[in-house]
Amino acid sequence: MSPAFAQLDAGGRLRHFLTLDGLPRSLLESLLERAFSFASRPGRAATRGEALRGSTVVNLFAEPSTRTRASFELAAVRLGGDVLNFDNALSSRVKGETLLDTVHTLLAMQADYFVIRDAEAGVQELVAREVDSEAAVVSAGEAHLSHPTQGLLDAMTIREHKGDVGQLTIAIVGDIARSRVARSAHLALRTLDAREIRIVAPRAMMPEAAEFAGARRLESLDDGIAGADVVMMLRIQHERTGAAGPVDLAAYHREFGLTAARLKHAAPNAIVMHPGPMNRGVEIDSDVADGPQSVIRRQVANGVAVRMAVLQHLAEARRTRVG
Ligand code: CP
């Protein structure tokens, strides 16, 4: 997001939710508190609300998604809203209609929220500027740069299982250079004053030196997860490898795949996370992904709660500004 664009209003509430960058800790804490109030429990009916009654949420995804799109849809429905899952491939975009013409078409049908995932950087801000007073934009993943609701749900899941992140060592492992999940997790955990954040990757997958301020960089998996309280595994972003070409998956698994034997290097009660989708047998083995230390399915459940929290916050802020 460009520094000139303000996603917060004069009262410090979100007008849009495009990035965790620059958000004060108090706002993060307030969103996490809301999310915990929506957190589901196995066997119990999902918590519901009314904040979106009479509002329409449009899911505008130009990249594939299972978790993020489904959880935004469930979040909106559980808050009483209507949802339109816009199908890019079957839309008039393929006949040459521009993104902004598409957005205005949907605005004319009284869309109130645009949840946007796009491979191109800047698309969310472009739409937010265009619709600014009429609708709110929420990022569901921007290029390799940002996935703010994922960062929040990761922080929530860590806090749920391990308590105060100020006491924790957290290792983020894998294709860091191309990962929006890693960037947003790092921002969330830094804002919450995590004791130590490590980024662990082969040299070719390390980000530029200017990025991930304050994080330790390690190029060996065993060293990177040694004593860690949280081990967050990431998939290789094959769709963004570009000129670097395909990765040798067997070699990658040998060096950076999390096996049960390797997990023993982490703290004895460490949790294992993965944002999904997983590539089993590449970055993570099935006995770890499905094992007792895995909280991967809890991350998915918390994704709905976090998206409810964000949508509810935006709805309340909009009502106050309009009313
Ligand atoms: N974690 C995540 O963004 O998953 P999806 O791509 O399935 O939405």
- Residue 308 tokens, joined: 């409810």
pLDDT at site 323? 47
CA dist 313 and 323 (Å) reads 15
- Closest atom, ligand 1, to C-alpha of 68: 8
**What number does the ligand 1 atom closest to the CA of 63 have?**
6
Q: Whose CA is nearest to atom 5 of ligand 1?
A: 65
Q: Which of 61, 63, 65 to mutate to test the pocket of ligand 1 (most atoms within 8 A of CB)?
A: 65
What's the CA gap between 309 and 112, in Å, rounded?
A: 16
Instruction: Kindly state whether residues 210 and 255 are assigned to the same domain.
Output: yes
Same domain for 124 and 80, yes or no, is: yes
pLDDT value at residue 241: 80
Q: Is residue 289 located within the same domain as residue 175?
A: yes
In a shared domain, residues 71 and 185? no
Q: Within this chain, do residues 68 and 112 fall inside the same structural domain, yes or no?
A: yes
Q: How many domains does the chain contain in total?
A: 2
Q: Is residue 47 part of a domain?
A: yes
Residues 222 and 202 reside in one and the same domain? yes
- Same domain, yes or no, for 174 and 203? yes
For residue 267, the domain's CATH number is: 3.40.50.1370
Write down the pLDDT at residue 2: 78
Residues 282 and 154 in one domain: yes
**Residues 289, 161 share a domain:** yes
On whether both 138 and 124 belong to a single domain, the answer is yes
Instruction: Give, for ligand 1, the residue of 63, 67, 239 to mutate: max count of ligand atoms closer than 8 Å to Cβ.
Output: 67
Which of 60, 61, 63, 68 best tests ligand 1's pocket when mutated (most atoms within 8 Å of CB)?
68
CB proximity list for 5: less than 8 A, separation 6 or greater: 18, 125, 128, 129
- For every one of its 323 residues, what pLDDT tens digit does the chain have, with 9 covering 90 and above? 777 688 999 999 999 999 999 999 999 999 999 999 999 888 888 899 999 999 999 999 999 999 999 999 999 999 999 999 999 999 999 999 999 999 999 999 999 999 999 999 999 999 999 999 899 999 999 999 999 999 999 999 999 999 999 999 999 999 999 999 999 999 999 999 999 999 999 999 999 999 999 999 999 999 999 999 999 999 998 888 876 778 899 999 999 999 999 999 999 999 999 999 999 999 999 999 999 999 999 999 999 999 999 999 999 999 987 54
- Which tokens belong to 88? 């890019």
Place of tokens 């939710």: 17
Q: Judge whether 246 lies within some domain.
A: yes
- Residue whose CA lies nearest to ligand 1 atom number 6: 65
Question: Could you tell me the residue range of the domain that residue 35 belongs to?
Answer: 25-147+301-322
In a domain, 141, yes or no: yes
Residues 189 and 248 in one domain: yes
